[in-house]
A and B are shown apart, each in its own frame.
Chain A
Amino acid sequence: MTQSRKTPRIAQLILLIGAGTCLIIGLYSILYLFPAHRSLGHIQKQIVGETVNLDRLKILFPVKVRAKAFEKIKFNGHLPFPERVKMPRKSLTTLPGLFSAAARTHGINILSSTLDINSMDKDSTILSVTLKLSGELKDFRQLLVDFIAYTWFDSVLALEIRAGKGKTKSITLTLNIKIEKAVT
């Protein structure tokens, strides 16, 4: 009698233990294994992303190094854009002196400076000046920037550069200068 009562109790106990174990395994799967599996997938995606980034950096790094080197070079990127005004006719005599001083600053020789007097009638507002110069091209470029920066500069009418000895070039430059109309 006692033996027959004990048997269902043991069976119940075994069932309880079994259910408990299943519950623990289930909880372990839900709470630990599943999130771990998800985070593993996430990490794999991150690895792929980082590998792509690394490949990009391999390409971009030399470019960055070059860009940094360029940053150190001092560069005056500002060209003057002055308000243009007309030169008074009485000041025209100062022109050759101004040109000559600017040319000297840049190591350029002025061989001749010719004002096109024939183009100057009472109503004309433009005067052509032809300069014959000799010097290096890099210096001439700086001189041209200086000429363009003059407030009364209008435009370059003609420019001719001929090869000379070594780096020295023969340059003929015709500038248009804004001038005031003659007072009548």
Chain B
Amino acid sequence: MQSYLPLAVVSEICRHTPDHIKLSSLSYTRKPGKVKSEPEKKQLTLKGQLTAYTYSLDSGLGNYIITLSESPVFGDIDIQNKKVSDQSVSADKAVMTFTAILEVI
């Protein structure tokens, strides 16, 4: 069953990523535990950009993270490098780039 975990990860990301979020990269890695008894850590790094109204950028990203956290495949989620781009799409819309580190269970 564990063999199909990367496939489940890709499927869950495809299923939960809305149209206004474009992912530029997805990286799945496995790191062995520091001690032999410690289980290995599986981690997913997502880089992407979210397009939304300026006032709803944060809530849009928050919603996405909450949706992902509800998936049985993912554990803790950490957002890094959240940055609003200087180039706006239109007068009232903006782009936010982000990096999300997801623990894969």
Contact = CB atoms under 8 A, between A and B. Distances in A.
Nearest to B30: A157
Contacts of A137: 10, 14
A141 B7 contact: yes
Given A137-B10, A137-B14, A141-B11, A160 B28 contact: yes
Contacts of A158: 27-30
Interface in A145-184: 145, 148, 153, 155-163
Interface centre among B7, B22, B23 (most CB of A within 10 A): B7
Contacts of A148: 3-4, 7
A105 B2 CA distance: 25
A16 interface: no
Interface string A21-33: 0000000000000
Interface residues of B, number: 20
Interface residues of A, number: 18
A85 to B, nearest CB: 14
Nearest to A162: B25
A73 interface: no
A160 B3 contact: no
A79 interface: yes
B22 A163 contact: yes
B90 interface: no
B14 to A, nearest CB: 7
A148 B6 CA distance: 10
Interface string B7-31: 1011100100000001111111110
Interface centre among A156, A158, A160, A162 (most CB of B within 10 A): A156
A81 B27 CA distance: 25
B37 to A, nearest CB: 19
Nearest to A142: B7
Nearest to B24: A163
A173 B40 CA distance: 19
Contacts of A79: 4
Nearest to B26: A161
A144 interface: yes
A156 B30 CA distance: 9
Given A145-B7, A148-B4, A160-B26, 7 more contacts: A81-B1, A137-B14, A141-B7, A141-B10, A156-B5, A156-B28, A158-B30
7 contacts: A81-B1, A144-B10, A155-B2, A157-B29, A158-B28, A162-B25, A163-B25
- Rank and list the top 7 A-B pairs by shortest CB-CB distance, nearest first: A159-B28, A156-B6, A161-B26, A160-B27, A162-B25, A163-B24, A148-B3
Interface of B: 1-7, 9-11, 14, 22-30
